[in-house]
A and B are shown apart, each in its own frame.
Chain A
Amino acid sequence: MPVVRLYYEDMERLIGASRDTIMSRLAMMGADIGKRAEEEYVDVEFFPDRPDLYSPEGVARAMQGFLGLRTGLVNYDVEEGPIVLEVDDSVKSVRPIIGCSVVRGLEFSDEAIESIMGLQEDLHWGLGRNRRKVAIGVHDISRVVPPFRYLGADPAREFVPLDFSEKMSMHEILQKHPKGRDYGHILDGCERYPLIVDANDDVLSFPPVINGELTRVTDESHDLFIDVTGTDPVVFKALNIVVTSLAERGGRIESVLVRRSEGDFRSPDLRPAPWTVASSEANKLIGFELKAPELADCLERMRFGAKAEGESVQVQVPAYRADIMHSWDIFEDAAKAFGYDRLVAEIPKTVTVGQAHPSEVRKAEVREIMAGLGYLEAMPFTLTNETVHFDWMRRPREGATRVMHPISELHTILRTSLLSSVLEIFSLNQHHPLPQRIFAAGDVVVGRKTNMHLAAASIHSGANFSEIRSVADAVLREMGLEKQTKIVPSEDGALLPGRGADILVEDENIGLFGEIHPLVLRSFGLEQPVVALELKWGEL
């Protein structure tokens, strides 16, 4: 989750409350406060559903409401500006959606620049799916001349990218610029690349990769042009979050006329979205008993516009909120404003009788038998690899479920049997006194279906067939399988020929036992005889 750095002094000024007051309520608003409290600032995390809290300005806006200092909807003035951006049809197959805005009259401290850069990066992560869906550019507008144009450009087109002094072609940027290497894949397969240029054909931005060096924002910048491009209407949410955040810093928002072949529009559009919610529905979901005016009051403290009308509340959802999909999202905010700590926890009266799953009951029986026979339980991973699971066991590579992108060579498949996992435990424990007797009862996956297996093995200098035969007989007897099973010589590669047996029920092979083949032991690095048993005892 994105980390937002909140400087106490900055927050006290933006919110108008003391540090102690702010810190005491921040967690209950939904912030995850870092353990390391610094002298001057605190790092907090907010959930991915609230990108509007990814900046100190956004946090301050929400906190003012939460503390009851300034409640209700914030009305941001949008001045109708003269600047035009034209969307060329050539970009529509590549990155069709653009929103933009001008914000004037800003004074940039280092903190403010850090905050806007941080917000931009966090939005790329939180809403933008790493720039694929949304990419944001912020520019010093004094360096360029409107009108602007958004087009699909020839990859050979050259300009000086941010942090470089030489001209590079867009194609080169994808090869050589660090940002190009990070985000170039988004443009894989595109014949033209998105580009924003000014009236003189100077480059502002190569979304979603890099801005031009020309429009770099410095502490001397006052007037900004913001472009947000992408593939989804969430682009406009990101734009709204950025411009309202800048407005909280004292900026004046000025709209841009976006010209498109399918129709013009003014951007940004900060009109709130109207919702009507019933207080009875809120009460039913949360379990409190609020009248419509009280509900409206809670919502105003979450910076919604809210007006009670009879049993209902007319809600205006701020244009920067990206998470309101359903009335329950609004009710959750009401519950937060009410305070989770003020809700009285109550056990529901739902009367039901608890019931264990039959396979867990069976598994508990298996454990009791094995513990009674002196075996210690292990709970190895179900992920393993073909080398250990098949090759070392002298078995064919069959029936395993393979994961597509393993994270390590050790974990490439789900185990189809348990025995190799138990042998691995022996090899980890060779330095401890023998005999060791280990069992595992758990899931294996064969043909993508979950089965339940038991494996048990014994390692010591005197381990022999009759020891494991006795154990196998005892297990089958205790599990009530003795009468149905038939013991026949086994061909399994993991067992020493002539000293291994298969367990059959009718014609189905449900297990085996015997002396482990010395070549198997050698693969696992074991130097003492091992006898072992494996039994399938259930499937889901």
Chain B
Amino acid sequence: MKLNAAIAGVGTSRVGQVADRSALQLQADAAQAALADAGLRMTDIDGLLTTPVRVEHWNMPCGVVANHLGVKASYLSTVDVAGASGCAMIHQAAMAVATGQASAVLCVAGQNLLTHGSRAKAVKSMAEGGSAHPQFEVPYGPIVPSLYALVAQRHMHEFGTTPGQMAEVAVTLRRHASLNPNAHKRELITVSDVLKSRMITTPLHILDCAIVSDGAAAAIVTSIERARDLKKRPVRLLGQGYGLRHSHIGEHVDLMSTGAVDSGRGAFKSAGLTPTDIDVAQIYDCFTITVIIELEDLGFCKKGEGGQFVEGGRIGIGGELPVTTHGGLLSGGHPGLGGGFFHVVEAVRQLRGEAAERQVRDAEVALVHGNGGVISIHCTIILGRG
């Protein structure tokens, strides 16, 4: 069943090092941009969704954000499905609108993750932040990239995936970021640059890993009828799915098949579409290997063929399946849980034809995929022109 809900506005704050803005100021910047995009005012908003932040302790994040922005909410909630929260916020806002609990839901997430601490501080806080099991994993000293490196190493062993193929993902997404004026890292890189960059945890180099950024993103979800009366062409939620197959990577039964299989299947089924219908895919990219595995598990290629799939320009703008066209977490920006929400914003811009130099020609259907934990929890949404 398609929900009577559409995305009417999207916006982002400045992204990168934004030393002059707090977490709440960044979220306010993104919210104001989304309101202006939709042609709405804060007083029109009666629902609010947000995610937890890492830089401050907010006892009830949705309450703190709603109060700060002056939202009188008839529906509010804090969504935390880790990196999948961006996609999940859109679906949960759509449910609130479709059931009449709210008429216009503001979804907003982001923080000053880079300015708040050093990269070293972020590495330590993430390593002990729950992705690794506090008793059975943290004592062995993995950093978060190590948890994904274990997946990458096994993928290389089973399918012959190479470091060069993983590097192709970083190179392509950096090229996309170079076309995005608000991206954090825009200088072009080569496969050789990735392979020569500092080894962090084999087989992942520093350029195989997401960056750490300041920034926030926002979207407004309302009914399809109301969205049609607003400034911009509506973008509809066509389908969604969730998946979870483990919580910690050390206990995962089969590292080579993730909950993205289930979230993708659910999203395609509810939308009545297949992977061949997708014009642009905004795939969560915390590490280069993540993109390769998700392309497989979502059904864009066969299991084990993800490494070959990302070669030869196939995932670049102009390629067979343009992937993560704003530059993603690897280059566009990664302010924690809000990071995956930029993928949603980019999908909306692509479907409206507003992506300028990054525009994918005739983009009518977009898939957005978010992943949290260590390829643990997944949410896939499919969006289409309204």
Whether A associates with B in a native complex is no
